[in-house]
Amino acid sequence: MKKILVPTDFSPLAESALKIAAQIAKKHDGEIYLLHLLDLPLDLVDKTGGASQNLPESIFFMKLAHQRFTEAMDKPFLKGIKVHETVEFSAAFDGIMDVSQKNECDLIIMGSHGAEGAKEVFIGSNTEKVVRYSEIPVLVVKHNQDTFDAKKFVYATNLSVETAKSFKQALSFAKKLDVEIDVVFINTPSKFKTSKEIDDRIASFSSAVGDGNYHITVQSDKNTEDGILNYARKVNADVIGIGTHGRKGLSRLINGSLSEDLVNHSKRPVVTFKIK
């Protein structure tokens, strides 16, 4: 976790994400790319993708962004950390993806208030889109918190072999944070597995993962999301981890996205890892 991208709108929740990024960066001698997106009207953007320097409106937005960056950079918790001031003139999701790839970032930290009901399906937040498509881990902060002293990390999995690679990322993430990882499989009525089927899955999954410091717990609940949230509450988890497929279009509407549901509904930080 040497290069951490933190998108910001300079809100208290975004500052909380920045505080957590600062703690991780200090621990790993990393640097932070603090990104602010200016989604300007087309007539305020020139053909090169920057703000037009000839329009008073674009100059105003540029100066306002720089002023907010200056205030953010003066925060005591950023002292001693290399922070890159980055402004992009694009829609938030596109800008986040472009900056993370261009700078070869290895972690994105974002704040999110979550969403409910129809808003989840028809609108979707930028955080949801980043979680869905990001090739690198995304840590989503759900409320204002000054510290990220994680001791218990719950990772939810269906124990399929295809998720082994993403789980290896989670193991690496846990090791870097020096946090205990607790793997949970949720057995539900609609996708019920017998004890033998679960044992076989655990054996195949463990073989695909190889060595690692973790243990697997089987939890029963009415559905997978409730099972994860209830288990995380029971063990007092500091962060929940899960793999994400990055489904698109009709497949996503039919199958849903458990990772996005967790990001929306969990009150605990959630970190996602792309299933490749």
Residue 144 lies in a domain: no
Could you tell me if 107 and 19 lie in one domain? Answer: yes
pLDDT at 91 over 80: no
CATH of the domain at 105: 3.40.50.620
pLDDT for residue 10: 86
Could you tell me if 166 and 92 lie in one domain? Answer: no
Q: Is the pLDDT higher at 79 or at 144?
A: 79
Global pTM reads 0.85
pLDDT for residue 116: 47
Total count of domains within the chain = 2
Could you tell me if 100 and 205 lie in one domain? Answer: no
Task: Please write the tens of the pLDDT for every residue from 30-57.
Answer: 999 999 887 655 444 454 445 444 455 6
pLDDT for residue 125: 64
Count of CB atoms situated within 10 Å of the CB of 77: 15
pLDDT for residue 99: 93
Could you tell me if 32 and 91 lie in one domain? Answer: yes
Tokens describing residue 261: 């549901």
Tokens describing residue 184: 């949970």
Residue 235 lies in a domain: yes
Residue 240 lies in a domain: yes
Question: Quick one: pLDDT band at residue 119, thresholds 50, 70, 90?
Answer: very low
Q: Is the pLDDT higher at 215 or at 148?
A: 215
Could you tell me if 43 and 93 lie in one domain? Answer: yes
Task: Please write the tens of the pLDDT for every residue from 221-253.
Answer: 999 999 999 999 999 999 999 998 866 544 444
Instruction: Look up the domain containing 58 and give its range.
Output: 3-111
Could you tell me if 181 and 270 lie in one domain? Answer: yes
How high does pLDDT run on average in the chain?
Answer: 83
Task: Please write the tens of the pLDDT for every residue from 130-176.
Answer: 888 899 999 998 877 777 888 999 999 999 999 999 999 999 999 98
134 with 100: CB under 8 angstroms? yes
Could you tell me if 102 and 159 lie in one domain? Answer: no
Q: Is the pLDDT higher at 125 or at 109?
A: 109
Could you tell me if 175 and 103 lie in one domain? Answer: no
Write out the E strands in 41-196: 82-88, 107-111, 138-141, 152-156, 180-187
Q: Is the pLDDT higher at 63 or at 11?
A: 11
Q: Which of the listed residues 84, 111, 138 is the one where a domain comes to its end?
A: 111
pLDDT, average across residues 56-75: 77
Residue 123 lies in a domain: no
What is the rounded (10 degree) CA torsion for 121, 126, 130, 131? -50
Tokens describing residue 152: 């218990």
Could you tell me if 106 and 194 lie in one domain? Answer: no
Could you tell me if 160 and 104 lie in one domain? Answer: no
Which residues, listed in sequence order, are joined to residue 217 by a DSSP beta bridge? 184
Which residues, listed in sequence order, are joined to residue 35 by a DSSP beta bridge? 7, 86
Give the dihedral sign, CA 177/180/181/186.
negative
Residue 118 lies in a domain: no
Separation of alpha carbons 233 and 236, rounded Å:
5
pLDDT at 92 over 50: yes
Residue 198 lies in a domain: yes
Could you tell me if 93 and 164 lie in one domain? Answer: no
Residue 171 lies in a domain: yes
Task: Please write the tens of the pLDDT for every residue from 134-145.
Answer: 999 999 988 777
Could you tell me if 188 and 266 lie in one domain? Answer: yes
Residue 187 lies in a domain: yes
